[in-house]
Chains A and B, each alone.
Chain A
Amino acid sequence: MTPASNPGGKSAGRLILREVLLVSVTGLAVALLGNQLSPRGLSLTRNYFPSTAAAPALVRAVAVTTTNQSAAEKLAVEVKSAGLQLASRAQIGAWFADPRRLAGKIIFVDARNETDYFKGHIPGAWLFDPYQPEKYFPTVVPACQNAEEIVVYCHGGDCDDSLSAATLLKQVGIPGDKLHVYGGGMGEWQTTAQPVETGPQNSGQIKPVVP
């Protein structure tokens, strides 16, 4: 359209193409450099969704629908196919009350990001954001090696970051038979009036339990 409306149509077209090239090359350079230098940059060689799972359910927090049931069923299948264990709410409650938890033999691993973790997590849980695994491996892996049972959770619902985190831990040598994915996640934990710790791990800032 522009070349036609311009007396020097061809040269205008060439100018636009040169500009496109300039913008594209600069944009790509900025993108490469920006991602490389950003502390939150993504690695291009990692599969952040290592499970066999396809994309999560279409609708996320759009409305409360019947997708919750299917999300739970889907997670159960994916957990099993990844060689991991699925933990029920009752099992989680029992492990949380188990004295072995205080000795580090039963640990909880929070697979959400730092912001969500600081807002509230299962008391004593380890933070392990599966999108920045290198940052957390040095602390979380030894804790997992020392533990007999590991519970990995995220938000719950159609969130599958717990599955990704558990799969990553399995890939670095943590046996799958002690990695339990808690599908209900933080959402279920809070709605069943369980204690929530805010701030860093073992901060002692426990939100009161609301029955």
Chain B
Amino acid sequence: MGSVKVLHPAEFLKIIRQYDLVHQATVLDALAAWLPWFEIACGCFLLAGVAVRGAALVSLVLLIPFSAAVLHRALAIKSLLAISFCAVKFDCGCGSGEEYICRKLLENGILIALSAGLLAHGGRQSA
């Protein structure tokens, strides 16, 4: 997912701006410029099996607030359009384009569970 955002940082910048959570240009630019690369680096650690529990903890620290922000925006869209929650569809900036919110949250839930699992058990061999 990070690779898609790395290829189109301007698009990612526009999307995270729509969350209306960050108003300082420099912070917004830094988030859009660095976050995708940071995600890729984190993913590489996990795939390579190096510093697995550390990478899992960092993933958790990223995933939980991201999911909360996505949920917050989805609720705002739901309220604006007066549609059911699962009918809400938008590009959350997750790198997968427009997606239905319930599916996205399910995906994030699975990722959070996997990260938590890795944090709890992933480092046994190396430890």
Contacts and interface: CB of A to CB of B under 8 A. Distances in A.
B112 interface: no
Contacts of A38: 6, 9
A20 B8 CA distance: 28
B3 to A, nearest CB: 11
B47 interface: no
Contacts of B73: 58
B29 A21 contact: no
Given A30-B41, A131-B10, A60 B18 contact: yes
A31 B53 contact: no
Contact of A58 (B52, B80, B89): B80
B44 to A, nearest CB: 8
A65 B17 contact: no
B54 A49 contact: no
Contacts of B9: 35, 38, 40-42, 131
A97 interface: no
B42 A48 contact: no
A171 B42 CA distance: 39
A45 B83 CA distance: 40
A69 interface: no
Contact of B81 (A17, A20, A49, A59): A59
A63 interface: yes
A56 B18 contact: yes
Interface string A37-72: 010111111111100001110111111010000000
A92 interface: no
Contacts of B98: 61-62
A12 B25 contact: no
Contact of B123 (A15, A35, A129): A15
B106 interface: no
Interface in B89-117: 89-91, 98
A119 interface: no
Given A62-B81, A62-B89, 4 more contacts: A12-B127, A18-B54, A34-B40, A59-B81
